[in-house]
Amino acid sequence: MTRKEKKHELRKKLLERRSSIPEGEYLQKSSQICERLSELEVFKQTQTIHCYVSMNDRREVNTHPLLKQMLASDKKVVLPITQTETGILRHVYLEKFEALNKNKWGVLEPVNGEEAVIEKLSLVIVPMVGGDNQKNRIGYGKGFYDRFLKQVDCPTVGLLFNECLVQKIPVEPFDVSLGKIITEDQIIE
């Protein structure tokens, strides 16, 4: 089996595992993970944070309260906009959470907003399907974040449930590992 096939099988297994987390447990664990993140010195001291808007129906670690908290503080929040035709992410500043609309895949995104400069980001919070103790991640397989992370020169943090932490992610040459992974029980550095 090739690495790509192994990743595909692992992704499928992890998505099933994640989707089976009961609602109450999902919300509680998401809250614990985001609390751990907000206690990090890099989070407290940083001004411009790039963060994903979680797809809660797919049980990504819920970032909705975190985004609202960051907007209420003096932090600048940058969100990705998926451009499937080019395979890259655009990055725009979020003014208010209520300004988000669902794209054609049901993902909440800003409709428009001031374009952000990647070099001005001071922290990037990354979605994950799975991860390992070497801080490798597995996403949805389209490479959007790997292409983006290759351009980033600031700390990166992935948010992940313990259920989706595995022994080893099959890594391909284009995969980009993270600076930290936060679960409800630990911070992997």
pTM listed for this prediction: 0.94
Provide CB contacts within 8 A for 55, sequence distance 6+.
Answer: 106, 107, 108
Domains in the chain, CATH or no CATH each? 3-188 (3.40.50.10420)
The mean pLDDT value for 109-133 works out to: 93
The mean pLDDT value for 47-60 works out to: 95
With bands split at pLDDT 50, 70 and 90, how would you rate the model's confidence at 177?
very high
The mean pLDDT value for 14-26 works out to: 96
Task: Give residue-wise pLDDT tens across range 92-118.
Answer: 999 999 989 888 777 899 887 899 999
Residue 27 has pLDDT above 90, yes or no: yes
The pLDDT assigned to 173 comes to 85
The pLDDT assigned to 79 comes to 96
The mean pLDDT value for 25-47 works out to: 96
The pLDDT assigned to 82 comes to 83
